[in-house]
Amino acid sequence: MAETTGIFTDKITSTASSPHVNYSAAYTATRNDPSDKAVRVVLTCIGWLPSSASRLGSGIKLTVCARLNGGEWQSAVMKSTSAVWNGSSAKHAAVIELSGNVPSGSAKIEWYVTRSGSTYGGSAGILGSASRPKQYTAALPAYGGNDDGSGSADAKGCVYIRVGGVWKRAVSYIKINGVWKKAVPYVKSGGVWKKTS
**Phi and psi dihedrals of 119, rounded to 5?**
-90, 0
Higher pLDDT, 43 or 127: 43
- Of the pLDDT bands very low, low, confident and very high (cuts 50, 70, 90), residue 48 is confident
pTM of structure: 0.68
Instruction: Please report the pLDDT score of residue 118 as a whole number.
Output: 60
| DSSP helix/strand/coil, 137 | strand
All CATH 2.60.40 domain ranges of the chain, comma separated, are 2-139
Q: Is the pLDDT of residue 121 over 60?
A: no
Distance, in Å, from the CA atom of 96 to the CA atom of 175, rounded to the nearest integer, reads: 49
Mind listing the pLDDT tens digit for each residue in 133-149?
889 999 998 887 655 44
Distance, in Å, from the CA atom of 132 to the CA atom of 127, rounded to the nearest integer, reads: 9
CA-based nearest residue to 90, from 52, 60, 127, 47: 47
The CATH number of the structural domain formed by 2-139 is: 2.60.40
Mind listing the pLDDT tens digit for each residue in 53-101?
656 656 777 889 999 999 999 999 988 777 777 666 678 899 999 999 9
Instruction: Please report the pLDDT score of residue 148 as a whole number.
Output: 47
